[in-house]
Amino acid sequence: MEFTFYKYQGTGNDFVIIDNREDFFPKKNTELVAKICDRRFGVGADGLLLLENHPDADFRMVYYNSDGNLSSMCGNGGRCISHFAKFLGIISEKTTFEAVDGMHEATVKNDWVSLKMNNVEKVNVSENFTFLNTGSPHHVEIVTELQDFDVFTNGRNIRNKTYGKEGSNVNFVEQNDHAIFSVRTYERGVEDETLSCGTGVTAVAIAMFETGKTSENKVTLKTPGGELQVRFEKIGSGYENVYLEGSAIQVFKGIWK
Ligand SMILES: N[C@H](CCC[C@H](N)C(=O)O)C(=O)O
């Protein structure tokens, strides 16, 4: 089966994106998705996104982790697919689309995309970490010497031992300034460190505010793949008007044979 695909990266979190408005893609074919994402035998990506028609919204976003399974929400993927929708001429600058966790708004200006994330109802603060769901589940833990930290081993242990079969993404954080944090993420479903994680840095920003590490509601997150901005409003015990902002780049177009 031959089809065109587009390769995107959002601060180093990389994706294969396919225009599936004709609904041709075999969506249950886990092996095919995993093969497309394979770094040696396929295109190589952290995940695969399908852009589909939607009766009311501008489009529907379907997201698979690189293990081939359907996933929870992907923030960087949401930013990249919004850029792709503008590239296809489906939208001009603003969009409303449906993802697995509901409706999202986004604004695309050149290669800069601002994505509205779902509200966060509950932030669970424990002694050594914070857990919250920003469309995907995230464990947030402050460490020292982040750049030398063994993210893979420690992230995999926490993902499996603390969160069992369901698992969680695991974010390790170091504070650089009052509203600047460095983040490295072990990503569920990729089962490795990724260069950035959109729902992850969103979780980190909110966790740092919730635990008093910052009093700013606009936070810069430095990841190995680049910088992201997160802003939010604390309303009662939850968080609303949560925005994830950063670059989204179309790297190349290809044909899958
Ligand atoms: N792997 C994540 C979903 C994608 C998250 C990440 N790519 C992002 O940008 O939010 C999970 O299974 O929860």
User: Which ligand 1 atom minimizes the distance to the CA of 194?
Assistant: 7
Residues of the chain with CATH 3.10.310.10: 3-116+248-256, 123-246
What ipTM was assigned to the predicted interfaces of this complex?
Answer: 0.94
Residue range 123-246 forms a domain whose CATH class is alpha beta
Any catalytic annotation for residue 74? Answer: yes
Question: Cβ(138) to ligand 1 under 6 A?
Answer: no
Which CATH superfamily groups domain 3-116+248-256?
Answer: Diaminopimelate Epimerase; Chain A, domain 1 (3.10.310.10)
What is the pLDDT averaged over residues 82-104? Answer: 98
pTM over 0.80: yes
- Per-residue pLDDT band for 4 (boundaries 50, 70, 90) equals very high
pLDDT at 107: 99
What is the pLDDT averaged over residues 37-55? Answer: 98
Cross-strand pairs, 230: 219, 244
Determine the distance separating the centroid of ligand 1 and the alpha carbon of 29, expressed in angstroms: 20
- Sequence-separated (6 or more) residues with CB below 8 Å from residue 146: 172, 173, 174, 182, 184
What are the E-state strand segments in the chain? 3-10, 13-19, 47-52, 59-65, 94-99, 102-109, 112-117, 123-125, 130-133, 137-142, 169-177, 180-187, 192-194, 218-223, 226-235, 238-247, 249-256
Determine the distance separating the centroid of ligand 1 and the alpha carbon of 75, expressed in angstroms: 7
Residue with tokens 């001429």: 89
pLDDT at 203: 99
pLDDT at 67: 98
CA distance 234 to 240: 6
Tens digit of each residue's pLDDT (9 = 90 or more) over 186-244: 999 999 999 999 999 999 999 999 999 999 999 999 999 999 999 999 999 999 999 99
Provide the 10 A C-beta neighbour count for residue 28: 8
- pLDDT above 70 covers a percentage of the chain that reads 100
Tens digit of each residue's pLDDT (9 = 90 or more) over 98-144: 999 999 999 999 999 999 999 999 999 999 999 999 999 999 999 99
- pLDDT above 90 covers a percentage of the chain that reads 99
